[in-house]
Structure 1
């Protein structure tokens, strides 16, 4: 911009200089012309004055040449001009500076030719006699005293040149002052034009450098001011659009980062251009390992790479479920969606990865649950139906046998009722349709009431019930649900403990004084124990370690599953330790206080 300002000043100064030079030359010419015209007029007046006052004599007398030369020299001193008397035939009869005898015939001189026609003759030329450039004025004169010819006055133009030189000096000084003033004004004008442009250029460069807060600060209403306002409007628009783009990008990044499914995008050249966090976790790869590379970089995940290759080649929607091992077995659902522009151009493929392992496991569990429920319901229903048909057919006459059949029907009906009740209870717990009501619960009083109910059953098998719970030990929980948890655990302990065995309940506080203060409640028995291979599955629905013994004891196979769900609803955990032939120990860990969700 400084170069532009310099060039602008140079152009302005050049125009001003040329204009002033042209004006000076014109003025000089006008001055010279007017000065010469003034001299001509003055010299003509002097000729007219001589015509009327000069004492002419006859030109054909002896001594005429001397007379007119003498008078010419006298006149030259008076009027400061060379005086020449010329006859009609061009012969010089008198001259103030040279002898007429030495002078050429002047009939062809320009001023004489012009004066011969009755007008005033004038000419400017170089004089060989005086060796100067002269101004000549001639006029025809007719005197009654015998002179008929021309009076010619001439003056050296050196005087005019001196006057012109003085004029040039004065004019040059004035022009120089005017030029300096014009230069100052030009600089101010150029600066007034270029400084706002420099400011606008600086702001435009800042905007192009992504500084969208830059603004033009000009308080003027001319075209430059309008340009600044346009730049500000453009910056406002860019800033707003950029904010919208950033907001959209942040929203998209947030959506991609929080998607539970994996997302991977491959462009039309087969290059991976996008991968989200879920896909990184599923594929065990970071974005810098794959983004910007071809999909062959997925070779560590061979199954998915082959699916991507198939989608890129087909360029159409595909879907597939595959089992992968990385290192554990997973069931992944792959979806490939082609991306096309509005004009129909192909942009690439979008691949979705969904870990459906848990979903398929739940579906399998649901199918297994339905099958187990059907089996568990079928057994008592078949028994009820069989014995009822036998009684209805009248094939049993013995009252004792009838009573036995009816007792079996009653027991199976009761077992069927408990089974349906447990199924409904488990369904209600899993669907969270039964919210917990937290109240302070005294653990010793809770287990005292449970022992009171179970003690008769334990006494029949000579099982000793021990309780190691301190007085005034409170926890926050749903008292009915806690009763249900420990009633199940103690009932199981009594059921699977042989006669003469022992069941013990203990409680201790851990993390005392800390924010996550908890209580550990253990139910231990000296029963038959649980085989190690069955320990991971004992909390599954309808899973029984000893199916025959469980059915004979009246169990539904849902008790421990209900217990596990109720413990988790209390934000607790349950674990089991057991050895075959030595007994089992179920430990429930519950928070003493619950924070509000």
Structure 2
């Protein structure tokens, strides 16, 4: 009985051990089955978490696991990952497009965070502040190091505007002048971003606008002066006739002749001013293809009718040259150049006109005289309105300094260029460049 009891206990113990071992094996298998796909998911995500991958990699499970709940979880994570990556790519493209747009602007654009540190700056703003792009990002503007006190002053002014915009949540507009004598004008516009997330600063170069205003003021002042002078002369002679009715015939003839001559000068001045106004509003629908040589020949004929002693030699280096111009205005431009050549040359005037190719698509008209020439210091200004090199001679001839200005305005309106070179005592050379057109336009 004792032996049977012992055998039973041993057998029961062995069976218990076997069952325990089997349970352990089954438990390990079940746990392994459950933890293996989780470990695969963790292993797949680890490189992204550690920063070794830019994007979250795709989770791939064994085929046996793809149909169970873990497979569905992996599939859901992959689907979410794809959507997130697409969204990131979309936002990246949008950011790149926005930066490209900001870089293409002619204005300087700088973005700031809530502490007034730079988060973005386009190249135009970097050039205006004379700073490298990397030296601006993450810093406030006064920290920029510049050898120019003017640029440092501009950076400080920009920073003050940005701080004011951040504090008041209002758009701040300021004007800053750079250079001696106010050569460059900048408008500084600081505006807060939505949700108080920062501010943006726009630097607009308004120099051309200010120059237009200044030119307008100068034009009005000069025109007023030029108009006042002949009016004063006429008024003086009229008062003389009124105060002294018994003038001699010779004196009366002299006074009336001066009044008529002054009226003629006044008439020419008004016509020149009206011509300038008309040219500024010239529509390109007025342009027609013209044979350049025929137009030059026509202008030569008109000039020789008024100045029969003058000599005009036309040299054509192109067989045919057609240009799209307003015929009347282009005649006026060429006539002004030819008449200037006669006016500032000793009699009899000798003028040479050359029609030559400039490039494959452009033609040059050169008008050259053997006159008194133009001083080098005056050459940069001869196309300015009311500018005269020899004021006494211009007054005597009735000129107001508008002839070459009219010529340049006409040439500019025809998409051309004009330049001048001169040597005192030897003559002046004007070179006009125009785009070529076919005979049919």
Both structures adopt the same fold (TM-score exceeding 0.5): yes
Q: Distance in 2 between matches of 1:319 and 1:258?
A: 23
Structure 1 residue 266: Cα displacement: 6.3
Change (3 A) 1:202 1:163: closer
User: Given the alignment of the two structures, is residue 565 of structure 1 paired with residue 414 of structure 2, yes or no?
Assistant: no
The partner residue of 2:300 within 451, 462, 466 is: 451
Q: Deviation digits for residues 84-119 of structure 1, max 9, x if unmatched?
A: xxxxxxxxxxxxxxxxxxxxxxxxxxxxxxxxxxxx
User: Given the alignment of the two structures, is residue 285 of structure 1 paired with residue 131 of structure 2, yes or no?
Assistant: yes
Larger Rg: 1
Q: Distance in 2 between matches of 1:396 and 1:477?
A: 59
The partner residue of 2:22 within 162, 179, 191 is: 179
Q: Distance in 2 between matches of 1:259 and 1:401?
A: 68
Change (3 A) 1:487 1:198: farther
RMSD over aligned Cα atoms: 4.1
Q: Deviation digits for residues 164-195 of structure 1, max 9, x if unmatched?
A: 656766x479749x929x847963x5565345
Q: What secondary structure sits across from 1:542 in the alignment?
A: coil
The partner residue of 1:442 within 291, 299, 323 is: 291
Q: Distance in 2 between matches of 1:541 and 1:530?
A: 17
The partner residue of 1:503 within 351, 357, 362 is: 351
Q: Distance in 1 between matches of 2:225 and 2:160?
A: 49
Q: What TM-score do you get using the length of structure 2 for normalisation? A: 0.78
The answer to whether the Cα contact below 8 Å between 1:204 and 1:231 also exists between their aligned partners in 2 is no
User: Given the alignment of the two structures, is residue 303 of structure 1 paired with residue 150 of structure 2, yes or no?
Assistant: yes
Q: Deviation digits for residues 461-510 of structure 1, max 9, x if unmatched?
A: x2222222257331332151432321111111112222223111122224
Structure 1 residue 272: Cα displacement: 4.8
The answer to whether the Cα contact below 8 Å between 1:256 and 1:277 also exists between their aligned partners in 2 is no
The answer to whether the Cα contact below 8 Å between 1:216 and 1:232 also exists between their aligned partners in 2 is no
- Gaps spanning 5+ residues in structure 2: where? 165-171
Change (3 A) 1:202 1:422: farther
Q: What secondary structure sits across from 2:363 in the alignment?
A: strand
Name the residue aligned to 1:478: 325
Q: Distance in 1 between matches of 2:101 and 2:200?
A: 15
Q: What secondary structure sits across from 1:379 in the alignment?
A: helix
The answer to whether the Cα contact below 8 Å between 2:130 and 2:146 also exists between their aligned partners in 1 is no
Within 5 Å, which residues of 2 pair with 1:125-274? 156-162=1-7, 165=10, 171=15, 175=19, 179=22, 183=25, 187=29, 189-190=30-31, 192-201=33-42, 204-205=45-46, 209-211=53-55, 214=58, 224=70, 227-228=73-74, 230-232=76-78, 234-264=80-110, 272-274=118-120
User: After alignment, is 282-291 or 444-453 more displaced?
Assistant: 282-291
Q: Distance in 2 between matches of 1:497 and 1:238?
A: 80
The answer to whether the Cα contact below 8 Å between 2:318 and 2:357 also exists between their aligned partners in 1 is no
Q: Deviation digits for residues 554-580 of structure 1, max 9, x if unmatched?
A: 334222112223323343322212122
Q: What TM-score do you get using the length of structure 1 for normalisation? A: 0.60
Tell me the number of residue pairs that the alignment of Structure 1 and Structure 2 aligns: 423
The answer to whether the Cα contact below 8 Å between 1:262 and 1:277 also exists between their aligned partners in 2 is yes
Change (3 A) 1:300 1:435: farther
Name the residue aligned to 2:188: 335
Q: Distance in 2 between matches of 1:296 and 1:496?
A: 59
User: Given the alignment of the two structures, is residue 520 of structure 1 paired with residue 391 of structure 2, yes or no?
Assistant: no
Q: Deviation digits for residues 190-225 of structure 1, max 9, x if unmatched?
A: 565345434543554566544268477899787545
User: After alignment, is 583-592 or 448-457 more displaced?
Assistant: 583-592
Structure 1 residue 530: Cα displacement: 1.2
Q: Distance in 2 between matches of 1:476 and 1:407?
A: 43
Structure 1 residue 366: Cα displacement: 1.7
Change (3 A) 1:392 1:233: farther
Structure 1 residue 330: Cα displacement: 3.9
The answer to whether the Cα contact below 8 Å between 1:283 and 1:301 also exists between their aligned partners in 2 is no
